[in-house]
Amino acid sequence: AQDLDVIVYPTSPTRPSLVNGGGGGGVSATNIANLTGFPDLIVPAGFTSDQLPVGISFLGRPFSEPRLLGLGYAFEQATKVRRNPRTTPPLAGAEIRR
């Protein structure tokens, strides 16, 4: 047995599809958390060549939510891949810098 605090895995094992591209809903790997009841945090991890967002999941031990939030925050700060959707208007006085 491994003594792991967190398992990190792609949120979806397949590339996302365009909304008008057909194909219906995508496949998700989050069933792991749903079936085990363990906490799972999903954060932005980048974009496909079509500029569609992809995520990464952090699956933790029971009651490890504070640890997951800290790891997710650290990942976001280290990668800076999140960006507002094009349809989101800027907030007054708010600016996202890279």
- Residue-wise pLDDT for 30-69, tens only, equals 788 888 899 999 999 999 888 888 899 999 999 999 999 9
Instruction: Judge if pTM exceeds 0.85.
Output: no
pLDDT(5) > 60? yes
- Torsion region of 93: left, alpha or beta (phi above 0 gives left; psi -120 to 50 gives alpha): left
Alpha-carbon gap, residue 42 to 46, rounded angstroms: 12
Report which of 56, 44, 55, 45 is spatially closest to residue 8, judged by C-alpha positions: 56
| Cβ neighbours, 10 Å, residue 29 | 17
Task: Please report, for the chain, the start and end positions of each structural domain, with discontinuous segments joined by +.
Answer: 6-17+26-79
What pLDDT score was predicted for residue 98?
A: 60
| DSSP structure class, residue 90 | P
What pLDDT score was predicted for residue 18?
A: 67
3-state secondary structure of 87: coil
